[in-house]
Amino acid sequence: MTSAAWSGQTVLVTGGEGFIGSTLVDHLLEAGANVRAYVHYKPYGSAGYLAGREDDVDILAGDVRDAERVSEAVRGCDTVFHLAALIGIPYSYVAPESYIQTNVIGTYNVVNACRHHEVGRMVHTSTSETYGTAITAPISEEHPLQPQSPYSASKIGADMMALSFHHAFSTPVAVIRPFNTYGPRQSARAVIPTILSQLHAGAAEIRLGSTTPTRDFNYVDDTARGFLAVAGSDRALGHVVNVGSGREISIGDLAQLLIEVSGRDAKVVADDSRVRPDASEVERLLCDNTRAREWCGWTPEVPLEEGLRRTSEWVRDHLDRLEAKSYQI
């Protein structure tokens, strides 16, 4: 769909208060859509990065595990982007059942509501973690799925649930599989903001786990454009579409690049407490984005160095919102 095609459309974004979700909301508003955001209910009333934007966005608080509330949010929508999920890999090791409840059953509730309310298009969010360590690279959508963490297993289950509704009921579902998205608003749970927050806090040592794994980092605005492109592609229906830069970098080299971009001086120090359990580490991720380019007309626009510079500036200006604590890639 072109930007003009979104004008006047009613669009739901589940998880709209989050890092990628709020950026997608920005792009939809700019394209003229009427945006409804389903945000995770919290007793203290936080709406994340949508806080204070009630004049622009119809914000509904709830939980994707609540089928009735999800149905209420989906009713009357033309397009649904389903991003709400538990995403932290470390927590999935200690609370795997919560990932099944939120990611698998939550996705069932959303896709079932889309079927019931005859939504024109649903885009379900996957993750490159479903591939596990690359067997062949770059990784195409035909690559085997390898559940190397309870998180990735729950996302594989969620992906299959979404696709099953396309095959069984002709529900118009497409699956977008972003590789490692980064940029402004990302929490220090992730590797790039946690390194930058340490640097801008004046740390002389940057503590990391494994530095040899490689990742394909995609700037958040490019990922958001990928969502819109997949939603506009009839060819993507019933399929998975990778969205990634097609460039890989090791975590060690990334840390050195971030030191340069930030203008700080620090050295990298190994920290065994940050290493994933044996056989759980994903050693290599590199995206084959052929489908995104050929089926959806999408290409990444922001080079890694430029994206890291923008992210560094944002972290510097929002350091009080970030905590330089332990993470897992």
β-bridge pairing 34-40 and 58-62: parallel
DSSP string, 297-317: -----S-HHHHHHHHHHHHHH
Question: Amino acid identity, residue 173?
Answer: V
Residue 325: pLDDT over 50? no
Q: What is the band of 329 on the pLDDT scale with cuts at 50, 70, 90?
A: very low
Is there a single domain that holds both residue 227 and residue 274?
no
pLDDT at 328 over 60: no
**Rounded Cα gap, residues 49 and 171, in angstroms:** 31
pLDDT at 52: 86
Does any domain span residue 326? Answer: no
| Predicted confidence (pLDDT) per residue in 52-65, tens digit | 898 999 999 999 99
Confidence at residue 277, expressed as pLDDT on a 0 to 100 scale: 72
Q: What is the mean pLDDT of the chain?
A: 93
In a domain, 3, yes or no: no
End-to-end CA distance of the chain: 33
Assess if residue 311 is contained within a domain. yes
* Domain identity same for 255 and 306: yes
Same domain, 197 and 313: yes
Domain span at residue 61 reads: 8-181+218-243
329 lies in some domain: no
At residue 93 the predicted structure's pLDDT band, cuts being 50, 70 and 90, is: very high
Same-domain pairing of 190 and 237: no
> What pLDDT shows up at residue 278?
67
Residue 99, pLDDT above cutoff 50: yes
When pLDDT is cut at 50, 70 and 90, the band that residue 181 belongs to is: very high
327 belongs to a structural domain: no
pLDDT bracket for residue 323 (50, 70, 90): low
Q: How far apart are CA 50 and CA 48, in angstroms?
A: 5
Q: What is the CATH number of the domain that holds 60?
A: 3.40.50.720
CATH number of the domain to which 251 belongs: 3.90.25.10
Give the count of domains, the chain.
2
Q: What is the pLDDT of residue 244?
A: 98
Q: Tell me the catalytic residues.
A: 151
The per-residue pLDDT for range 214-252, each reduced to its tens digit, is 999 999 999 999 999 999 999 999 999 999 999 999 999
Least confident of 150-164, 165-179, 186-200: 186-200
Question: Looking at residue 326, what is its pLDDT?
Answer: 40
Residues facing residue 173 across a β-bridge: 122
In this structure, the answer to whether residues 274 and 195 fall within a common structural domain is yes
Reduced to 3 states (helix: H, G, I; strand: E, B; else coil), residue 284 is: strand
Question: Is the same domain home to 263 and 229?
Answer: no
Q: Are residues 102 and 227 in the same domain?
A: yes
